[in-house]
Amino acid sequence: MLPDLKRLIQLQQLDNTAADAQRIVDAIPSRIEALDAELTARTAAVDEATGRLDARKSERAAVEKTLAAIQTRLSRFREQLMAVKTNKEYTAMQHEIATAEADVQRHEDTILEHMLELDDLAAAVTTAKQALSASRKEIEKSTAALMAERGDLEQTLGRTAAEHDTLLETIGAEAQVLFNRIAKQRNGVAVVEARDGLCSLCNVRLRPQVFNHILQNTALVQCDSCNRILYHDPNSKPAAVPAVDAP
């Protein structure tokens, strides 16, 4: 194989590794954002459940206060009943007492309803807090894993960049210029395999004499369509399904 072609293939492999690592690194902030959003939602759920519980508690406190006032009034009516002088007054007072007693009953029923509801609301707060706590642990673990992953990827990026520079120095000036020009135009991919008579990236069918030339790996042959440098990998297995020509 032409030495420069061999080195360009290695150079492309390094660049591909670096590009893959960079893509994953770039996606890490949005993955962390998603974890943060989950934590925010869990925290909001706890706040909401606590808010509902507190609101019901104040409602119950208000009902209890009203009930106490009615009971005070009722005791006063009962004392006054002893002091009435006429039948008319007695009947009127009895009516007041009956009304107050009905009021007491109504408020006591409400308090009972609130107690049952408060149990449910308190249980909902507990559930939401447990979910938050479990989620927080998971998120801390996931975040730590992402940080570790980022550390590894940054090491890969540093290593591939250094290897890229070292390798580039061993490549002939013309081949360097060609590689850099195509890489710049073609999103960092300047060297690709030719397989089954096709450019493996743009899928264009190569002219037979061009493909035969590539099979020898003795020159820098470019794809007629995408201009990338093509090579033949003798270890590459032919595709099981015939590749489809690009339109």
Q: Which residues contact Zn ion (rule: CB under 5 A)?
A: 199, 202, 223, 225-226
3-state secondary structure of 229: strand
Question: What is the closest distance, in whole angstroms, from the C-beta atom of residue 186 to Zn ion in the complex?
Answer: 9
Nearest Cα residue to 12 out of 182, 156, 172, 150: 182
Determine contact, residues 130/49, Cβ cutoff 8 Å. Answer: no
Closest CA to 2 of 154, 241, 237, 217: 217
Q: At its nearest, how many Å lie between Zn ion and the CB of residue 214?
A: 11
- Residue nearer to Zn ion on the CB measure, 5 or 199: 199
- Which CB sits closer to Zn ion, 14 or 199? 199
Alpha helices in the chain (DSSP H): 3-83, 87-169, 173-185, 208-216
- Judged by CB, which is closer to Zn ion: 157, or 189? 189
Strands 191-195 and 229-231, bridge-based pairing: parallel
Q: How far is the CB of 23 from Zn ion (least distance, A)?
A: 22
What do you get for the CA distance between the two ends of the chain, in Å? 32
Closest approach of Cβ 150 to Zn ion, in Å? 34
Q: How far is the CB of 194 from Zn ion (least distance, A)?
A: 8
Distance of CA 156 to the CA centre of its chain: 25
- Cβ closest to Zn ion, residue 121 vs residue 226: 226
Locate all alpha helices (DSSP H) within 186-228, ordered by sequence.
208-216
Q: Which is nearer to Zn ion, 142 or 222 (CB)?
A: 222
Complex with Zn ion: residue 13 or 227, whichever CB lies closer? 227
Beta-bridged to residue 198, according to DSSP, are 195, 205
CB of 202 to Zn ion, least distance (A): 3
